Amino acid sequence: MSHDQKSYEDILRTAGHRVTRQRILILDAVCEGNSHSTLGEIFARVRVKDYSIDRSTLYRTLKLYVDLGLVLSAEPGDGETYYEIAGPHRHHHLICRRCRKEQEIEHNVVKLMFDQLTEVYAFSADSDHLVIMGMCQACRITSSGIQRSSPEFR
């Protein structure tokens, strides 16, 4: 996803933040991931362009971007936080725990769940980036085949 679809610089300025070269390089590095990128991946991309940017600058800038809704973050339970450029529409992800394949799903697929959270629990979920972990079809088939042929499962 490209960050050229929004006026990120205007959003930063309107929120009272300066647009610096370092902030733009970090935003570019998130964008270059084409989807989810870990902090380490973003840091590696940034350091190629400007070796003076340290991890604390990266942490603070990513937090700012997440707080402003410019970047989305997700913690799928593998100990990493993943970042991606916020798009114009809410979307969510299915991630296979085994092969790490990722599939993007539209918000309307999970909208009923969000509506039921409000109706049943009086809770208004504001997540526009839900990550659901599980197992993809290919891995389920492989897993089933392994189990059937394994002597432990006969």
How would residue 15 be classed by pLDDT, with cut points 50, 70 and 90?
A: very high
pTM comes to 0.69
| pLDDT tens-digit readout, 24-56 | 999 999 999 877 788 999 999 999 999 999 999
Per-residue pLDDT at 3: 53
- pLDDT over 70, % of the chain: 88
35-44 own/partner pairs: CB under 8 Å, 24+ apart: 35/1, 35/84, 35/102, 36/74, 36/82, 36/83, 36/84, 36/93, 36/102, 37/82, 37/83, 37/84, 38/80, 38/81, 38/82, 38/83, 39/80, 39/81, 39/83, 42/83
